[in-house]
Amino acid sequence: MKKILLIGSTVADIIINLDHLPTTSADVNIVSQEMSLGGCAYNVSNMIHLFEVPYRLFSPVGTGLYGDFVRNQLAAKGLASPMPTPDQANGCCYCFVEEGGERTFVCDHGAEYLFYKEWFDTLKMEKVSSIYICGLEIEDKTGGTIVDFLEANSSIPLFFAPGPRICFIERTLVDRIFALHPIVHLNEDELCGFTGATALEEGAKALYALTENMVIVTHGAEGAYYYDGDEFIHVPPVKAVKVVDTIGAGDSHIGTVMACLAKGRTPYEAIKTANAVSSLVVGKKGATLSKDELTITI
């Protein structure tokens, strides 16, 4: 079976729990903090791994305290970065989680977001079934190198989860990605912010006109929607849960969708399963699930 290629970051998430975000000049105490493995590509890869679909995590790891942490954590999971160690420190992501579970990210970008042509030249693309990218790496200074690589492999299905950075990526790069007809995965705010639409269906149709491929929109407690060019379909949530934190919910959702589609499930079945997985993720601390915590099968 061919592998899903996941291009993106693996970072140290510093999760800081507090009652509420401080205002300017305020002085607050936190409830707790911890450091864990995160990053969009890693979070996606974890879900694909749990569903036992072959994949390759193509993620650079830099130097320094956070680079060492990421490298050691990956090694403990039997993973290693396929790239040489860049001569640059790894960054981290400060994840501020308020009492209600909503998260705010403050990121220090480092080597984990930079990609170079000679690294892509080592890939054996005949063994790749599909490709995943997010928006952070495209926004960074080597984003054009990633898009060059995607264009050179335009026959391979592409999944694009741009996240909230979709409005900050250079528009020419976004247009080049859309020309490759990716399946785009984003939430309501990201969709409406990019398209200027005031309704989900309107926004999904506007985005489909640019990509000519399925658009998947997550909508929190209401579940998710997708537009396939013919119908705008609602996929309801599996159940209501108490939100602990929302870190990694979107990554786990798209990772599950990709895993399910790779196993031959329909888009509706894939998104329904992803809704259930996301409910598990937001119901616990951190961005990923363990094998024991994944109580869903496909």
- What's 215's domain CATH number? 3.40.1190.20
* Neighbouring C-beta atoms of residue 209, cutoff 10 Å: 12
Is 27 a member of any domain? no
Q: Is the pTM higher than 0.95?
A: no
**Is residue 288 a part of any domain in this protein?**
no
**What's the rounded Cα separation, in Å, for the pair 284 and 198?**
32
Residue type, 227: Y
Q: Is residue 101 part of a domain?
A: no
Please tell me the predicted confidence (pLDDT) of residue 240.
64
Tally Cβ neighbours within 10 Å of residue 28.
11
- Taking a C-beta distance cutoff of 8 angstroms, is the pair 30, 74 a contact? no
Give the tokens for residue 53. 């679909």
In a domain, 81, yes or no: no
Residue 243 lies in a domain: yes
CB 158 within 8 A of CB 164: no
What six digits make up the tokens of 246? 């929302």
Q: Could you give phi then psi for residue 212, rounded to 5 degrees?
A: 55, 35
How many structural domains compose the chain? 1
- Is residue 219 helix, strand or coil? coil
Domain carrying residue 158: 3-10+40-60+113-282
Q: What is the pLDDT of residue 149?
A: 98
Taken as a whole, the chain contains a residue count of: 298
d(CA 276, CA 257): 11
Q: How far apart are CA 84 and CA 124, in angstroms?
A: 17
Residue 108 placed within a domain: no
Q: Which of 75, 63, 66, 58 has its CA nearest to residue 93?
A: 66
Question: Is 265 a member of any domain?
Answer: yes
- pLDDT tens for the chain, 298 residues: list them: 799 999 999 999 999 999 999 999 999 999 999 999 999 999 999 999 999 999 999 999 999 999 999 999 999 999 999 999 999 999 999 989 898 888 898 999 999 999 999 999 999 999 999 999 999 999 999 999 999 999 999 999 999 999 988 999 999 999 999 999 999 999 999 999 999 999 999 999 999 999 999 999 999 889 999 999 999 999 999 876 777 777 788 999 999 999 999 999 999 999 999 999 998 888 877 768 888 888 877 7
**Among candidate residues 259, 292, 275, 289, the one with its CA nearest the CA of residue 51:** 259
Q: Could you tell me if residue 137 is inside a domain?
A: yes
Residue 175: Cβ within 10 Å count: 11
Q: How confident is the model at residue 70, as a pLDDT?
A: 96
Q: Is 26 exposed, middle or buried, given 0-12, 13-18 or 19+ CB atoms closer than 10 A? A: exposed
> For residue 234, what are its two tokens?
């609602």
Find the DSSP H helices in the chain.
40-50, 64-76, 117-120, 135-139, 143-152, 171-178, 188-195, 200-211, 249-262, 267-282
**Cα–Cα distance, 54 to 84 (Å, whole number):** 23
Closest to 134 measured CA to CA, from 274, 40, 249? 40
Q: Which residue, among 247, 250, 289, has the nearest Cα to 50 in the 3D structure?
A: 289
